[in-house]
A = this chain, B = another copy of it.
Amino acid sequence: MQPEQTKQRILAAAAELFGELGFDATSTRDIAARSGVNKALLHYHFGSKDELLAALLDGYYGALTTTLAAAWRQRAHPAEQVQDVVDAYADFLAEHRAFCAIVHREVASGRHVEQIVARTLSVLELRIGWFGEGPTAELMQILTSVYGMVVTYFTYGPVLARLTGADPFAADALQARKRHVRRIVALLFAEMAPDAKGT
């Protein structure tokens, strides 16, 4: 087997298990078993369990940066651009549920925060110049709120499923959620900078 294929198999299995059980609750033996490789290969290819997580996050953040940058370039007006980026972010989280769970849990644990902050910064960097000036306190509040609205929906997916009785990750539910968030974003930007609103 190609070594690259081996690494990808390990990464895929690690993503699934870290997402399902959490970093701590997943053993390297679990990952080896699910990916069908020998357990010593994890350390041969990645060095340690922590470095495996780092490699996994690198892949996710790389893909996220590409995705958001692509969404960002589509339209001209700031408000529409934000809408598109939020939409793209929601789609990304829907497609990579494990990523969302991993990041959220590690942040809440206060561990691997350095890695996550650094990567989040490199993603945000793209759009901190959005409004000409640096991020104002107002903008930071809004970013936090929008981020929270989107991320919480995915993180609390199982809880929402129990509360509403419906699958929050079904296509129509996701569509409804995105519509809701878009509406709030529109409200926020309309209030904050009415002159900068697109259309």
Complex interface: chain B residues within 8 A of A48 (CB): none
Q: Is A113 an interface residue (CB 8 A)?
A: yes
Give the shortest distance, in Å, between A143 (CB) and chain B (any CB). 9
Kindly report which residue of chain B lies nearest to residue A22, judged by CB atoms: B109
Decide if A126 is an interface residue (CB 8 Å cutoff).
Answer: no
In the bound complex, CA of A41 to CA of B43 (Å): 38
Q: Report B-chain residues with C-beta under 8 Å of the C-beta of A104.
A: 104-105, 108, 155
In the complex, the answer to whether A107 meets B164 with C-beta atoms within 8 Å is no
Interface residues of A, CB < 8 Å — how many? 48
Residues of B within 8 A of A137 (CB): 164, 176
Whether A155 and B107, one on each chain, are in contact in the complex, defined by CB atoms closer than 8 angstroms, is yes
What 1/0 mask marks residues of chain A from 90 to 123 whose CB sits below 8 Å from any chain B CB?
0000000000010011011111010011001100
Min CB gap A132→B, angstroms:
19
**Given known A108-B104, A111-B22, contact A149–B144 (CB-CB < 8 A):** yes
Q: How many copies does the complex hold?
A: 2
Assess the B20–A110 pair: CB atoms within 8 A. Answer: yes
> What are the residues of chain B within 8 A of A147 when measuring CB–CB?
152, 156
Between-chain CB contacts (< 8 Å), 29 pairs: A22-B105, A22-B109, A25-B111, A104-B105, A104-B108, A104-B155, A105-B105, A107-B156, A107-B158, A108-B155, A113-B159, A117-B158, A117-B163, A121-B163, A124-B163, A140-B164, A141-B176, A141-B177, A141-B180, A142-B180, A144-B149, A144-B152, A148-B150, A148-B151, A148-B152, A148-B156, A149-B149, A151-B152, A152-B152
Tell me the A residues contacting B by CB distance below 8 Å. 20-22, 24-25, 101, 104-105, 107-111, 113, 116-117, 120-121, 124, 137, 140-142, 144-145, 147-153, 155-156, 158-160, 162-164, 176-177, 180-181, 184, 187-188, 191
